[in-house]
Structure 1
């Protein structure tokens, strides 16, 4: 390729402007079909093959799954529609630049850099999912972490690099290309999940609908955790469905996506992702997992490896393989897009497409770590626990501060490099909630129980549900500290006009 063509390519990449640091223009807004497609494609995805399987392995009951997930998903939809979307269409800024206004540039850079890394890790887990599909087709074995595999084979790594490169290129092309890809693949993926689950039911002993509930409790969601997995219950299902995306809705991460929405009511488009993906698809992948494990044990294989590709191939054949491949892409694409925007906040003089490609390299590296997929449910929970608070401060700053007579965007107005109320709320909430969980789940933290009041010592925290008290603690600490900061600063509050 000569220098002229190279320069032309770079110029074209530089032209892919995504309103990184200013509000989205009116003529760049999108309608209902865009957000229905985006949520349906992103949340009917590779993660569903993993998390639905993990619910089976963690021993939930059929009631826990059908009722707990329904309740959790209703709460998730309301959180997107009533908390996230209204602020997004009002401000039309990315979450990173809204955080900068309330927390200052130092905390924003710290948040953005760490957030980008965890997004790369999550995108990497989806590259892993898609790679299992390609590798199965090519006859390459996927690593089985439960059986002691800590690294994949070289051929598997080469496949992961190829899959990850495609995803990185799509993310570089920006929001418009993401929405086009989502509209193409979203309509048919739910049917593959459903068809695969229905096809697997006879192997579990279901020949008519009246038998389903008994078989579901006896062979699928048995209430008994598999060896090496923690026991989950009803509230684990509620918490996982509601709070696995808390950083995106109650933590305001998806203001970055909804800043392109014409109306705040488009937040209800999240229902297409939640009830097709985090409800129907989780249930279907649970059925597929149970059928696969039973078939492997019957064949004398004591360490079944229910990878997304393995269970999809069992239920839906090569249509399932294609679904796994595209399902990983549809989650990894917008996740890597967000990571690129986050990295750009930490590297403000770099072009977005450059940092997105760098994020793509990190994504591919994490895709080759089998432990990431094995512990994905816990990674998602810790991700929400740590990154949710700063985004939650956007909600409080927008709605509550004017009613308390406090100045909005105080750090920006006063030129602060870092907001100490935001730091206290962020790190304080994480430390408190982590300790309350760790005291009963990690032996090295058991000593905490001896130093707590009896009431707190008896409190046994569920990791997923722990994210909710973290939100309450974070916004309380932030609000109280902000009141102290502003009341003692001599700011003239009389100029503030409540919304």
Structure 2
């Protein structure tokens, strides 16, 4: 299971586009979408502002992956940690990897808690929405879910991607049909709308009974900033170098649009609809419901499975990233064993429900802490030569710590914190000045503290070796036939069966929307789900076997 933790990914190990389409769709159509979609309902932002803000923010997120993260990942073929060590030194990477790894552990823990919130329904455990668990049985469920997630993450990028490849299409459909099935419930409780025959009817329903404007400070720009910054650690903070280093082409970063516009747009809206409907059915406040409770009201038994798998597809790659972070502390450590330890730590964190109940605030803080690293690396990778500075200058000094890099990180976070605490700027916006501050301060500090003094010829040999590696990679890829799917008869059959299963599920969602029969929908949706997973697993197994 070669993962190239310390060296560039070999050309033969690069992956085709479908791996990244599945990975982004699977990771960002996740159990936390139930949490975030419901929170937008609770925030008191109007329907029009939510829709427009999500469109803009998710577009900016996709452009960040395409223009910032993917070019650096595919040019270097290194993990974030290996490349940052090359720039900032082993002393810096030890500090950063610990902080980064802990943040990813908390994020992955939220996904595991979300999955457990669905399993708890099977055992009659009440919703866990406080800071600490109120049920020991819930803790046992979390431990079981965490064990499964950690095992998959230990297997490496290919297994993580194949898991998403199976689950992602089905999860997308489940969000769609769940939202559709819940709309009649909301219509029945809205006096101003008797049916939904056009977008105007939907918008009236949304403004009246789902995203109800409550005069809060949150608005369009808050929604846009959150949608952009929610995954800042991955794109602007370059965490997805760990994933995109396997991409044959930098353009594969456009597949992030599947995650952003299907997951962080459509799924967030669908989750908001399901949350509002679930609160009406149960005659309770939305804040008292967890993801499992919302999905169960919309999708019945399949809602439990949806939340479990949606949590897994996000926590798997997040634990994988965290394992790479901690493995970078000591190159001799086995990535598999480090990932196992990370999985154990993450599972313990997941036992406390606060990791998802406080998710929005945590994502804002995570973006703030990691944003300067992205600006710092972007600066050295793309701007140093244009500014007359020596790229990778610190490696020629022999020092274990790049002091200008450390100062840049501290000052950039300090600038953002000053704006937050001193001027009252919302935490959703602080990643922007943090990233831009690093972009400006790092070249300034580096030029004063040695980047201009280092003789560029001392690093010429390593630059030539890197250019030769890149040329060898281009030659290899040019010689390969990179077709997407293996065109065997069996795979065509499995693909057709999976597609028809999803089409049947969509048809049931439309039927529920028109008939309003939620119970019938929940009983029938089980069958296309079962048939889909049979065909999808056979399809992915066939493709994998054909590639070996």
TM-score, length-scaled by structure 2: 0.80
User: Partners of 1:41 and 1:361 in 2: how far apart?
Assistant: 23
User: Partners of 1:131 and 1:399 in 2: how far apart?
Assistant: 43
On the 8 A contact 1:119/1:338 being kept in 2, the answer is yes
Question: Are residue 424 (structure 1) and residue 407 (structure 2) matched?
Answer: yes
On the 8 A contact 1:142/1:152 being kept in 2, the answer is no
Which of 211, 216, 220 in structure 1 is aligned with 2:210?
220
Shift of 1:262: 0.3
On the 8 A contact 2:182/2:273 being kept in 1, the answer is yes
Shift of 1:392: 2.5
Can you give the 5+ residue segments of structure 2 that lack an aligned partner in the other structure? 188-192, 468-548
Q: 1:261 to 1:219 in 2, by over 3 A?
A: same
Which of 189, 192, 201 in structure 2 is aligned with 1:211?
201
Which of 263, 268, 276 in structure 2 is aligned with 1:282?
268
1:195-229 deviations in Å (ceiling 9; x for gaps): 1111111111152134211121121111228xxxx
Which of 241, 246, 257 in structure 2 is aligned with 1:260?
246
Moved more, 110-119 or 132-141: 132-141
User: Partners of 2:381 and 2:242 in 1: how far apart?
Assistant: 16
Report what 1:390 is aligned to: 373
Report what 1:443 is aligned to: none
Can you give the 5+ residue segments of structure 1 that lack an aligned partner in the other structure? 1-15, 440-456
Shift of 1:495: 6.8
User: Partners of 1:247 and 1:330 in 2: how far apart?
Assistant: 18
Moved more, 316-325 or 206-215: 206-215
Shift of 1:360: 0.6
Report what 2:488 is aligned to: none
Q: 1:243 to 1:304 in 2, by over 3 A?
A: closer
User: Partners of 1:347 and 1:158 in 2: how far apart?
Assistant: 32
**Counterpart mapping for 1:91-106 below 5 A:** 91-106=76-91
On the 8 A contact 1:101/1:410 being kept in 2, the answer is no
**Counterpart mapping for 1:366-385 below 5 A:** 366-385=349-368
Aligned to 1:346, what secondary structure does the other structure show? coil
User: Partners of 1:379 and 1:74 in 2: how far apart?
Assistant: 22
Question: Are residue 313 (structure 1) and residue 296 (structure 2) matched?
Answer: yes
Shift of 1:493: 4.3
User: Partners of 1:349 and 1:496 in 2: how far apart?
Assistant: 26
Shift of 1:302: 5.9
On the 8 A contact 2:129/2:354 being kept in 1, the answer is no
**Counterpart mapping for 1:21-60 below 5 A:** 21-60=6-45
Question: Are residue 170 (structure 1) and residue 152 (structure 2) matched?
Answer: yes
Moved more, 86-95 or 411-420: 411-420
Which of 186, 190, 206 in structure 1 is aligned with 2:172?
190
1:116-163 deviations in Å (ceiling 9; x for gaps): 111111111000010011111222223122xxx632311111011000
User: Partners of 1:116 and 1:82 in 2: how far apart?
Assistant: 25
**Counterpart mapping for 1:72-221 below 5 A:** 72-145=57-130, 150-205=132-187, 207-208=195-196, 209=198, 210-221=200-211
Q: 1:357 to 1:494 in 2, by over 3 A?
A: closer
Aligned to 2:92, what secondary structure does the other structure show? helix
Q: 1:303 to 1:395 in 2, by over 3 A?
A: closer
Which of 380, 389, 397 in structure 2 is aligned with 1:414?
397
Moved more, 204-213 or 310-319: 204-213
Shift of 1:231: 4.5
On the 8 A contact 1:45/1:327 being kept in 2, the answer is yes
Question: Are residue 64 (structure 1) and residue 49 (structure 2) matched?
Answer: yes
Shift of 1:113: 0.9
Which of 296, 299, 312 in structure 1 is aligned with 2:282?
296
User: Partners of 2:150 and 2:457 in 1: how far apart?
Assistant: 49
Q: 1:303 to 1:388 in 2, by over 3 A?
A: closer
CA RMSD of aligned residues (A): 1.8
Question: Are residue 362 (structure 1) and residue 345 (structure 2) matched?
Answer: yes
On the 8 A contact 1:77/1:270 being kept in 2, the answer is yes
Report what 1:486 is aligned to: 450
Question: Are residue 270 (structure 1) and residue 252 (structure 2) matched?
Answer: no
User: Partners of 2:144 and 2:457 in 1: how far apart?
Assistant: 59
On the 8 A contact 1:201/1:287 being kept in 2, the answer is yes
On the 8 A contact 2:37/2:271 being kept in 1, the answer is yes
On the 8 A contact 1:81/1:265 being kept in 2, the answer is yes
Aligned to 1:403, what secondary structure does the other structure show? coil
Q: 1:495 to 1:111 in 2, by over 3 A?
A: closer
Shift of 1:303: 7.7
Shift of 1:486: 2.5
Moved more, 401-410 or 33-42: 401-410
Aligned to 2:40, what secondary structure does the other structure show? helix
TM-score, length-scaled by structure 1: 0.88
User: Partners of 1:378 and 1:158 in 2: how far apart?
Assistant: 27
Q: 1:143 to 1:231 in 2, by over 3 A?
A: farther
Moved more, 234-243 or 388-397: 388-397
User: Partners of 2:110 and 2:147 in 1: how far apart?
Assistant: 14
Question: Are residue 466 (structure 1) and residue 448 (structure 2) matched?
Answer: no
